[in-house]
Chain A
């Protein structure tokens, strides 16, 4: 397929329409809670809107209708208009917005500080934008695993099936496709559908502008985190600092500019899930429960490990619902550990409908569709230290986080029962590190192929909870 000229109107529509519709829907959802602000709405709205666009693509394909951008754009616009209209109708319903942050005037110092950080971010993202638009698709997995499905679906006008290489070789016709990576055919389809949506809008698969959502994703994630922090009463300079740290991290920048991987999306929706979970825990309004569950659902749609991140989010929410005394939680944790040890010793195996086979015996663990693992300790801690303390991937995060924890401990903040959102982030960190410490994936840590990509998943949420509970800020009362 030869590249077609870029349709600028379609490009803008493919970017702005899902964002606008998603934001209107998110605002409609959060309106009854009276706790939101425009940055939070715009941040979540970008991801919700793009996900809606992928649902439309799936529906179009399921109904056997050939992909056309404008009809789908009209449906999306209709959804946005309906959400907006509903909000206009409710304008006099008496809902009053919560004050989102300290209303005290900022000093010149604070204003100058915020301006400097925003200026640095402006420079950074202008640089990344130019680089992204100039360079043809570069990163390996982007053109091996993710973009091919979108290109094929664009050509066929529907989501033709992808199968394993073995199934492909057995087929009698030419209807089934496979990929050059033996595992990738079964990856979740949402990220290729993000690409397909842009391709349909732009009118070609071969243009760097297809990947502009990769640049917008961290910006919108930061917008949402900023909104949540402000809503929680964190000061403007601190909230901006959090966004600056996140958006300036070299590894986040690389995944934005060498676009096409799914990891940034995975990190974003998990981070947003933690934000929504926090807000729900504090104020128990169903709106944020819906948002939290929606983000957990999105986690499952980005990458295979997202299923575990979704389970972490859901389990954290259930913990909030149960609201058990910490002594009881500790007892349950110990009992669970004993039970797992016993099961490992005795051995257990069962099959769940739709989910597959599960087994746990000795050093062997099988988790349905997630795969099976031989559990053994692998010394990859040095690689982690190298990534955080020597390479520039995460700027100074690897040095500052331990200091931050010590500082919290000195202030007595670590001795309190752990807040649910903090626990969710901690468990996610333990999960990604454990995968490399105890399974065969350790080789991908030693050669750095997957280590930082997996660590990226909890990093935005980690920054959020650090600033939420920042000892020098105004910590939320629990």
Chain B
């Protein structure tokens, strides 16, 4: 029994030593590989560099106070900018602070930032424009919960090319009482420490659910950079090699040790995922805790659809299920129109294209034309809905507002004699 215990201790010690040594080797390999992949400075030197860029090889610092708030409100506090006012759009409150100038994207592959926005329900994004398409704003979520300075790898992000003419911070708050303190942005040249920090930042950033989460999980908050999974796999593989070498030195291989290494790697990935889930729950608590279901819908992404449909249901639609034809310009699956159908349930909803192609509307049917739909239009003189194929349906206007219009069919339609 004692001998077995000693063996277990020995395997455990060898596994721990192997994983630690492998982590060191992996880091060394990574640093070495990073040096080999550094961009060619001579190619970059040929490009014209604007004066706001600073000296070649030096980082470019922008203090929070140097940013100009263009949406929302902010106050300067020491060298920082405190965002404390927002403009409401859809369901969230937005603030944007920018700085215009000119910098060469190739010279600054990393952004080091210090932004205190650790509140749940707050998302902080870095945005920029370039000369290639000045009207287009590119954006990348930051890790606002990092607390201490965090790093974003800019190199490889879509749009981080050529001359950048505007950079900014876009804060989205679920609750307007939340604030974000932008301390500083530092655009930095290539450095292996920043590269490493940018990976850790990307892996621990709160990503939150999106409509693609049910299909796949990226494991990081940016399209560029490494995923944690192959790194952890490489760590496990190196650990196994070291463990094999130790076994070879001792003249005895212990297969259980390999299984333990694999499991440790699995657990490392698992803990990273748990970290993400913990942040997700904190965010959900902030949005939904201690609220009725109705209040939760009103705090959710589709709040405008929910409020609108609930109002239609309570003011115009009967208690018993009725036929409702939903019309929208979107031809494929569209979030708003499908969510409207969901909230209209248990009404009997037909929700395709511009309504019934065969024109088989029945007296008493309800027609919901959602915002932006261009077909049909209401002929207010005849009180008919007119489709672009000539179909005319006599209706009563029940409700009309910016989110859509609700009609009730008065009589079965007749096709126009001539289109």
Known contacts A144-B333, A391-B227, A207 near B293 by CB under 8 Å: yes
- Residues of chain A within 8 A (CB-CB) of B236 are 396, 399
Determine whether B194 belongs to the interface, using a CB cutoff of 8 Å to chain A.
no
Could you tell me if B209 and A138 are in contact, using CB atoms closer than 8 angstroms? yes
- Residues of chain B within 8 A (CB-CB) of A176 are 348
Known contacts A134-B288, A152-B321, A390-B227, A254 near B213 by CB under 8 Å: yes
Q: Complex: how many Å from CA A136 to CA B349? A: 21
Determine whether A182 belongs to the interface, using a CB cutoff of 8 Å to chain B.
yes
Q: How far is the CB of A140 from chain B (nearest CB, A)?
A: 5
Q: Residue A174 contacts which of B215, B274, B348 (CB distance < 8 angstroms)?
A: B348
Q: Complex: how many Å from CA A168 to CA B263? A: 54
Could you tell me if B350 and A178 are in contact, using CB atoms closer than 8 angstroms? yes
Could you tell me if A170 and B266 are in contact, using CB atoms closer than 8 angstroms? no
Could you tell me if A174 and B233 are in contact, using CB atoms closer than 8 angstroms? no
- Residues of chain A within 8 A (CB-CB) of B269 are 392, 395-396
Known contacts A180-B338, A396-B229, A396-B236, A123 near B215 by CB under 8 Å: no
Could you tell me if A147 and B342 are in contact, using CB atoms closer than 8 angstroms? yes
Against B, the Cβ 8 Å flags (1 = close, 0 = not) of A139-182 are 11101100110011011100000000100111010101110111
Q: Complex: how many Å from CA A117 to CA B417? A: 74
Could you tell me if B265 and A396 are in contact, using CB atoms closer than 8 angstroms? yes
Q: Residue A131 contacts which of B218, B281, B335, B339 (CB distance < 8 angstroms)?
A: B281
- Residues of chain A within 8 A (CB-CB) of B350 are 165, 168-169, 178
Interface centre among B270, B335, B360 (most CB of A within 10 A): B270
Known contacts A389-B229, A472-B255, A400 near B262 by CB under 8 Å: yes
Against A, the Cβ 8 Å flags (1 = close, 0 = not) of B340-380 are 01100110111110001110101000000000000000000
Q: How far is the CB of B384 from chain A (nearest CB, A)?
A: 20
In chain B, residues 288-341, which have Cβ atoms closer than 8 Å to a Cβ of chain A? Answer: 288-289, 292-294, 296-297, 300, 310, 313-314, 321-323, 333, 335, 337-339, 341
- Residues of chain A within 8 A (CB-CB) of B333 are 140, 144, 180-181
Could you tell me if B219 and A131 are in contact, using CB atoms closer than 8 angstroms? no
Could you tell me if A155 and B281 are in contact, using CB atoms closer than 8 angstroms? no
Determine whether B48 belongs to the interface, using a CB cutoff of 8 Å to chain A.
no
Interface centre among A124, A131, A147, A389 (most CB of B within 10 A): A131
Could you tell me if B296 and A392 are in contact, using CB atoms closer than 8 angstroms? no
Could you tell me if A245 and B211 are in contact, using CB atoms closer than 8 angstroms? no
Determine whether A128 belongs to the interface, using a CB cutoff of 8 Å to chain B.
yes
Q: Residue B217 contacts which of A135, A254, A450 (CB distance < 8 angstroms)?
A: A254
Determine whether B70 belongs to the interface, using a CB cutoff of 8 Å to chain A.
no
Known contacts A144-B342, A390-B227, A130 near B281 by CB under 8 Å: yes
Q: Residue A177 contacts which of B218, B228, B310, B348 (CB distance < 8 angstroms)?
A: B348
In chain B, residues 45-103, which have Cβ atoms closer than 8 Å to a Cβ of chain A? Answer: none
Determine whether A414 belongs to the interface, using a CB cutoff of 8 Å to chain B.
no
Q: How far is the CB of B123 from chain A (nearest CB, A)?
A: 17
Determine whether A358 belongs to the interface, using a CB cutoff of 8 Å to chain B.
no
Known contacts A165-B352, A174-B322, A392 near B345 by CB under 8 Å: no
Could you tell me if B284 and A399 are in contact, using CB atoms closer than 8 angstroms? no
Could you tell me if A155 and B321 are in contact, using CB atoms closer than 8 angstroms? yes
Q: Residue A253 contacts which of B272, B277, B285 (CB distance < 8 angstroms)?
A: B277
Could you tell me if B229 and A391 are in contact, using CB atoms closer than 8 angstroms? yes
Known contacts A1-B346, A128-B277, A178-B350, A393 near B217 by CB under 8 Å: yes
Could you tell me if A391 and B346 are in contact, using CB atoms closer than 8 angstroms? no
Q: Complex: how many Å from CA A204 to CA B292? A: 13
Could you tell me if B323 and A174 are in contact, using CB atoms closer than 8 angstroms? yes
Against B, the Cβ 8 Å flags (1 = close, 0 = not) of A258-290 are 100100000000000000000000000000000
Closest-by-CB residue of B relative to A444 is B215
Could you tell me if B281 and A156 are in contact, using CB atoms closer than 8 angstroms? no
Could you tell me if A140 and B211 are in contact, using CB atoms closer than 8 angstroms? yes
Could you tell me if B277 and A127 are in contact, using CB atoms closer than 8 angstroms? yes
Determine whether B267 belongs to the interface, using a CB cutoff of 8 Å to chain A.
yes
Known contacts A170-B360, A392-B218, A134 near B338 by CB under 8 Å: no
- Residues of chain B within 8 A (CB-CB) of A254 are 213-214, 217
- Residues of chain A within 8 A (CB-CB) of B233 are 389, 396, 399
Determine whether A255 belongs to the interface, using a CB cutoff of 8 Å to chain B.
yes
Q: Complex: how many Å from CA A180 to CA B349? A: 8
Could you tell me if B348 and A390 are in contact, using CB atoms closer than 8 angstroms? no
How many chain-A residues does the 8 Å CB contact rule pick out? 74
Q: Complex: how many Å from CA A102 to CA B43? A: 68
Could you tell me if B342 and A143 are in contact, using CB atoms closer than 8 angstroms? yes
- Residues of chain B within 8 A (CB-CB) of A448 are 212, 215-216
Q: Complex: how many Å from CA A182 to CA B333? A: 10
In chain A, residues 440-454, which have Cβ atoms closer than 8 Å to a Cβ of chain B? Answer: 448-453
- Residues of chain A within 8 A (CB-CB) of B358 are 169-170
Known contacts A134-B281, A136-B300, A396-B262, A127 near B274 by CB under 8 Å: yes
Could you tell me if B214 and A255 are in contact, using CB atoms closer than 8 angstroms? yes
Q: Complex: how many Å from CA A94 to CA B293? A: 54
- Residues of chain A within 8 A (CB-CB) of B228 are 392
Determine whether B273 belongs to the interface, using a CB cutoff of 8 Å to chain A.
yes
Closest-by-CB residue of B relative to A447 is B215
- Residues of chain A within 8 A (CB-CB) of B4 are 107
- Residues of chain A within 8 A (CB-CB) of B212 are 448
Determine whether A241 belongs to the interface, using a CB cutoff of 8 Å to chain B.
yes
Q: Complex: how many Å from CA A147 to CA B342? A: 9
- Residues of chain B within 8 A (CB-CB) of A399 are 233, 236-237
Known contacts A1-B345, A250-B273, A258-B209, A391 near B294 by CB under 8 Å: no
Q: How far is the CB of B219 from chain A (nearest CB, A)?
A: 4
Closest-by-CB residue of A relative to B226 is A390
Interface centre among B216, B285, B335, B356 (most CB of A within 10 A): B216
In chain A, residues 413-453, which have Cβ atoms closer than 8 Å to a Cβ of chain B? Answer: 448-453
Q: Complex: how many Å from CA A138 to CA B288? A: 13
Determine whether A187 belongs to the interface, using a CB cutoff of 8 Å to chain B.
no
In chain A, residues 86-144, which have Cβ atoms closer than 8 Å to a Cβ of chain B? Answer: 107, 109, 120, 123-124, 127-128, 130-131, 134-136, 138-141, 143-144
- Residues of chain B within 8 A (CB-CB) of A177 are 348
- Residues of chain B within 8 A (CB-CB) of A403 are 262
Q: Residue B270 contacts which of A2, A131, A138, A395 (CB distance < 8 angstroms)?
A: A395
Could you tell me if B342 and A135 are in contact, using CB atoms closer than 8 angstroms? no
Q: Complex: how many Å from CA A62 to CA B351? A: 28
Determine whether B383 belongs to the interface, using a CB cutoff of 8 Å to chain A.
no
- Residues of chain A within 8 A (CB-CB) of B230 are 389-390
Determine whether B259 belongs to the interface, using a CB cutoff of 8 Å to chain A.
yes
Determine whether A251 belongs to the interface, using a CB cutoff of 8 Å to chain B.
yes
Known contacts A120-B270, A392-B229, A169 near B214 by CB under 8 Å: no
Known contacts A255-B214, A395-B266, A448-B216, A472 near B346 by CB under 8 Å: no
Q: Residue B321 contacts which of A2, A138, A156 (CB distance < 8 angstroms)?
A: A156
Closest-by-CB residue of B relative to A165 is B352
User: What is B's interface to A at a CB cutoff of 8 Å?
Assistant: 4-5, 8, 209, 211-219, 227-230, 232-233, 236-237, 255-256, 259, 262-263, 265-267, 269-270, 272-274, 277-278, 280-281, 284-285, 287-289, 292-294, 296-297, 300, 310, 313-314, 321-323, 333, 335, 337-339, 341-342, 345-346, 348-352, 356-358, 360, 362
Q: What would 26 A/B residue contacts be, using CB atoms closer than 8 Å?
A: A107-B8, A124-B277, A134-B289, A135-B296, A139-B213, A140-B338, A151-B345, A152-B345, A169-B350, A174-B323, A180-B349, A205-B345, A245-B266, A253-B273, A258-B209, A390-B230, A391-B217, A391-B219, A391-B229, A392-B219, A392-B269, A395-B229, A395-B273, A396-B229, A396-B265, A399-B237
Q: Which 7 A-B pairs have the closest CB atoms?
A: A155-B346, A392-B219, A3-B293, A134-B284, A134-B288, A448-B216, A151-B345
Other A-B contacts than A140-B214, A169-B358, A174-B322, 11 sampled, CB-CB below 8 A, are A1-B313, A135-B284, A135-B288, A138-B209, A172-B362, A206-B293, A391-B229, A392-B273, A396-B232, A448-B215, A452-B215
